[in-house]
Structure 1
Amino acid sequence: MQTLEFAHLWNSTDSIGRAVALLLFLMSIASWGVILGRAWDVWRLRRCLPAALARFWNAPSLETGYQQLRQTPCGRLLAPLAEATLELDPAARRPDYDHSGQLTRSLRQALTEVTMYLESGLTLLASTAAVAPFVGLFGTVWGIYHALLGISRASSVQLDVVAGPVGEALIMTAAGLFVAIPAVLAYNFLNRANRILMAAADGFAHDLHAQATTGEAWRPSEPRRPRVVGG
């Protein structure tokens, strides 16, 4: 009875089967790197968000608040929005220019930058979740074909001669699912977390726009903090 050990599986397959196994291994390493890195970023952002917003709005000036944001883990999420507002300081504006429209465009560009940051790695996870099962299925089909060729050359056919190679080939399908399932779960989790963080960034941009377009000097205050729920 053949044992399903890795060395035996590796030696019993051909170069195409080994290439499929290596591809699944690389896809798994890449997706887990994205999963762990993005999960760490999301945890840090959601943990520091309330305190970072409170420190920003209690800062003595917009520039001081911006510098404080850059020193926190939330800098990648909120600092681009504060920087877009800081570049349009009311004291330096021309009275004949549509400052509200200019600020809106700058904040929209900053929100696009924040969105790109939050969505980094999601394309890899989506591609892995969609492709890995088919890569594993291809490995299974090729392994069964390779096994049938070997069986056709055998002088006698017994159950273990057929079941062993076919069972080994089916492991490729299981490997594809093993790679795809964590990617699917992580993709859904990160998508929901990104929606919550983007809602907080959008609210922050709205508050900045309201503060900057009033024409009044910066006054430290603490607006309503966004509620960052679990999930």
Structure 2
Amino acid sequence: MISRISGLFAAIAFATAIAVSPVHAQEAKPADAASAVVEGAAPAAEAAAPVAAAAPKSTDNPYGLKAMIDHGDAVSKGVLALLLIMSMGSWYILITKLWDTSKLAKEAKEIRATFFKKASLADGIKGLGEGSAFRFIAANAVEASEHHEGALTENIDRNTWVTMNIDRSVYDVQSRVQTGLGFLATVGSTSPFIGLFGTVWGILQALTAIGVAGQASIDKVAGPVGEALIMTAIGLGVAVPAVLGYNWLVNRNKQVMGEVKAFAGDLHGVLMGNRQVTKR
């Protein structure tokens, strides 16, 4: 009897051991798998770290001016080249005319203080620099005063003849001073529309390419359209300095030509007050 009870307990213990052992095996397997995943993820994270660190180094803008030049067609590049030429011409005129008007204003100040204090007009003319606008006016005025002869000019009195020649000389100087203002006016009025044409053309090409590709995602639309809009900005950047420079030069020319006309009026009075002009 005791041997049977002992056998029963032994059978129960054996069955319990068999039932519990798979549970421990199943618990051990997920733990081993988790540790393997952690160990495998560590090298992957270490390998991805340099890539993540290297990513911010890329600073090229795929939608900027450089991209437009690289990917633009002949029309876009032609419009850009035209705007560049117009801008360079505007700045050249602004700088050269600033130099010319400054030089003319300086000469007017010196002449107002010294010219009419000379012993004769010939001495005053010799004291003026070669190529000076004031020397040009004075020389023509003296020439007209000294040479008032001829079958046709005899019908014109001396006063009118000298006045005509002085006014003609002043007009020539004024035309020389105003050279380039027409170009500035043209640039200021047309460059925004040239830039707008470049924008419209760029958008047309972008929409055509999107339609052919059949992709209307934001990256396919924003890039080409943004590149095209740069043309309008460039056109405005060319027009604004040209317009401001035009208005500024017009005001400077008025001031300088006022000095020139005042000199011409004083010279006319001196010539009319002296019947004979000292020979040069």
> After TM superposition, is the score higher than 0.5?
yes
Q: Alignment identity in percent?
A: 34
**Is the Cα–Cα contact under 8 Å of residues 142 and 271 in structure 2 kept in the other structure?**
no
Question: Residue 84 of structure 2 aligns to which amino acid in structure 1?
Answer: F
Q: TM-score, normalised by structure 2?
A: 0.71
Deviation at 1:104, TM superposition (A): 0.8
Q: Does 2:149 correspond to 1:121?
A: no
Distance 1:212 1:164, change over 3 A: same
Structure 1 residue identity aligned to 2:246:
Y
Aligned residues: 216
Structure 1 unaligned regions, length at least 5: 220-231
Residues 148-182 of structure 1 show CA distances to partners (whole Å, capped at 9, x for unaligned) of 11111223221121111111101101111111110
Deviations 1:29-77 (A, max 9, x none): 1111111111111222223321133221122221221122234xxx543
Question: Paired residue for 1:60?
Answer: 119
Which of 162, 166, 179 pairs up with 1:107? 166
> Which residue of 217, 220, 224 maps to 1:161?
220
Contact 2:192/2:239 (<8 A) preserved = yes
1:82 aligns with 2:138: yes
Pairing partner for 1:7 from 58, 66, 73:
66
Tell whether the 8 Å contact from 2:79 to 2:194 is kept in structure 1 after alignment. Answer: yes
Q: For residue 248 of structure 2, what is the aligned residue in structure 1?
A: 189
Of residues 43-52 and 144-153 in structure 1, the stretch that sits farther from structure 2 once superposed is: 43-52
Q: How many angstroms does 1:132 deviate by?
A: 0.7
Determine which structure has the larger helix proportion and give its number. Answer: 2
Does the aligned pair in 2 maintain the 1:151–1:157 contact within 8 Å? yes
Which amino acid is the alignment partner of residue 31 of structure 1? S
Question: Residues 86-117 of structure 1, C-alpha deviation per residue, up to 9 Å, x if partnerless?
Answer: 10345988999611010011011101101111
**TM-score between both structures, scaled by the size of structure 1:** 0.85
For the pair shown, which has the larger CA radius of gyration, 1 or 2?
2
Aligned partner of 2:232 among 166, 173, 178: 173
CA-atom RMSD, angstroms? 2.4
1:118-161, CA deviations, whole angstroms, 9 ceiling, x for partnerless residues? 10111111111111111101101101101111111223221121
2:211 to 126, 147, 152: 152
44, 55, 76: which is aligned to 1:17?
A: 76
Higher normalized contact order (CA 8 Å, seq sep 6+, divided by chain length): 1
